Amino acid sequence: MPSKTFLGLPETKRNKIMGAVRQAFSNAPYSQVTVTDIIKLAEIPRGSFYQYFKDKEDLYFYLIETFRQSFKDDLTYNLKVQNGDFFAAVKKTFHRTLDRFTTAADSQLLQNVIMEMDYRGYHHLMKRDIHHRPQNHQVNLPEWQQNIKDQTDFTKLRVSRDEFDLLFHTLLSFMGQSFAHYFIAQRDSSQKLATEPFKAKFDLLLDWLEHGVLIEDTGRELNA
């Protein structure tokens, strides 16, 4: 996270620096961007960069935290609109987020972020939402995730409140993979791809997860 020095800068200067950062990570994926690229675009000395941020990774995760917050706000809002129906809220949030990703001014930046979001990056983000107590290994949920759980109508689910955390992170991972599938296809296409087929595929897989794929009462027995 940024230092107090950076947060204490005038807003215009902070906006200029972050605008340059967005440009740098739009021009190239994380692995190809250097601190030199960033300070040239931001027009700041190298020493100032390290006064503001620990390193490139620290800056990068601060940048994508802004997109993460927008996603969190959307899911919270959609869960309220859908009267606690968690799966309906996830579906609505995926549709809205995919549309935003593909039409926003930062669409290339978002594509680069998602295409390079491996397990390490996902864990880095999610560890801010889960803090383990060393004494008893219980989990402290952040306010946002706790609010999602509190707003969810569990009468619509066959999971307990304790099991919900696993479902929550499973669906977040599923959404991330679905975003990546779109951007991979877009990268390999010479034309702008419509989002509707990707929404339809997401909806189908989400429906399978929500309602299952096995016909009930088939009398199937597992072989020993």
Percent helix, strand, coil in the chain, to 5, is 70, 0, 30
pLDDT digits over 28-58, tens only? 988 899 999 999 999 999 999 999 999 999 9
Spans of all domains in the chain: 1-54, 64-211
CA atoms within 13 A on the CB side of 155: 2
Using the predicted structure, report yes or no on whether residue 109 has a pLDDT greater than 50.
Answer: yes
pLDDT digits over 178-212, tens only? 998 998 898 888 888 899 999 999 999 999 999 99
pLDDT digits over 6-20, tens only? 999 999 999 999 999
- Angle, helices 56-81/143-151, rounded to nearest 10 degrees: 20
- Partners of 140 in the beta sheet? 131
Instruction: Compute the radius of gyration of the chain from its Cα atoms.
Output: 20
Determine the pLDDT at residue 219: 66
Q: Give the end-to-end CA distance of the chain in Å, rounded to a whole number.
A: 54
Q: Whose structure tokens read 């930062």?
A: 106
For residue 14, the surrounding DSSP H or E stretch is helix 11-27
Which CATH architecture describes the domain 1-54? Orthogonal Bundle (1.10)
Q: Whose structure tokens read 């994508």?
A: 64
Return d(Cα 152, Cα 157) in angstroms, integer.
9
Judged by DSSP in three states, 47 sits in helix
